[in-house]
Structure 1
Amino acid sequence: MFSSARIRLLIALAIVTPVLVYWGFSGDTVPQQPGGTREDSGSIDFFMRDAETVYWSTDGARAREWSAPELNHYPQRSRSELRQPQTLMPTGDGGIYKMRANEGWIVDDQSQIQLAGSVEVHHNPQSGPAGILTTSSLTIFPPQNLARTDEPATLVRDGERTDTVGLEVYFDQRRIELLSNVQGRYNAR
């Protein structure tokens, strides 16, 4: 006859089998967002973990690179969204700009990179003092070697601090334009 263990096994199989059969024949195993379809603007067509990308200039020099622990591409938005992105941009004189933020996105044609949330831009020149820019949001335009924000920003370099609302950074010229409400604190030597 049947032992109690065998009876329990048969009962468990009788309960689980219809669920597995239904799941196997239902076709779509990816859960849908409530009220959404795969073609809406929130749909991801691909994602990457530990993504790294390098861009080269027309003369073969490294123009910039970025990395992120997570990247999601949204085809309807024509952009990739990044979690904790880091961007490196070498300068013509051997220095480097290193940027990082909590989140960001890159448009598909690579003409614009948006960084948001605790944005830091570290400038490490080949010679001279290093500097750091902090703000809540920064838009980078790689083709123009330009970055811009309308948010409050702080620049610290060699013990000097400058606060501003809005600025533009011209990477290739190593120049920053402060747009409004500029206040500075300088240490006398």
Structure 2
Amino acid sequence: MLTAGRLRLLIALIIITPFLVWWGLGGSTLPKNPVVREETRSTYDFFMRDNESRYWDENGNLARSWESQEMHHYPARNSSQLLEPIAHMPQQGGGTYKIRANDGWVLDDQSEIQLAGNVEVNHNPQSGPGSLLTTSTLNVFPPRNYAETDAPATLTRNGERTESTGLEVYFDERRVELLSNVRGRYDAP
């Protein structure tokens, strides 16, 4: 004989059993085919924090090193974004160039590095006075030891201050070519 409690339990089992069978036999809420996210130019595949990269020349000497607070690699762009990059480029005759910026992009093949925001190039020669170049953007081409900008730039060295619109830097030759609107000032010590 069925009591009222057992009758309620039997009715509840009859109502729930079809849902449990449906769920167990393939009524899963997971998709049948995995969803593949389309890669866009804004999709990065990895990132690194507090990273440093070193590059060596064919003779085994340090050619340059780069460090940044954060780096995101974008495979669709074949490049990486660098947050607050700093570069060190030692020179054959001694001394070094130290380059820093707020932001940068480096191509995967290392052929070009695009820097933007408070770009500074400090030249610290082994002997003689150093120099400081400041600009808003700078494209560096490491394989050629060359850099250029079309933006306004200021070069300061040993009391001399020279401003120009656009310039070219030849790191190996320790030479800077000022392109246009050149103005200079010398402050005697």
TM-score (norm 1): 0.80
2-structure distance, mates of 1:41, 1:160:
44
Superposition deviation, residue 169 in structure 1: 0.2
Cα RMSD, aligned residues only = 1.3
- Structure 2: any 5+ residue segments left out of the alignment? 1-28, 32-36
Superposition deviation, residue 48 in structure 1: 0.3
1:69 aligns with 2:42: no
Equivalent position SS for 1:143: helix
Give per-residue Cα distances to partners, 1:132-174, cap 9 Å, x unaligned.
0000000000111100000000000111100000000000000
Letter in structure 1 aligned against 2:104? G
Letter in structure 2 aligned against 1:92? Q
Superposition deviation, residue 26 in structure 1: 6.3
Label 1:105 to 1:26 Cα distance change in 2 as closer, same or farther (>3 A): farther
Q: What is the number of residues matched between the two proteins?
A: 156
TM-score (norm 2): 0.80
Listed as ranges, the matches of 1:1-20 within 5 Å are: none
Listed as ranges, the matches of 1:2-41 within 5 Å are: 37-41=37-41
- Structure 1: any 5+ residue segments left out of the alignment? 1-24, 28-36
Give per-residue Cα distances to partners, 1:99-132, cap 9 Å, x unaligned.
1000001000000011100000000000000110
Letter in structure 1 aligned against 2:116? A
Q: Spell out structure 1 runs of 4+ moving beyond 2 A.
A: none
Match of 2:161 in 1: 161
1-structure distance, mates of 2:88, 2:129:
18
Match of 2:52 in 1: 52
2-structure distance, mates of 1:119, 1:139:
10
Label 1:186 to 1:39 Cα distance change in 2 as closer, same or farther (>3 A): same
Superposition deviation, residue 187 in structure 1: 2.8
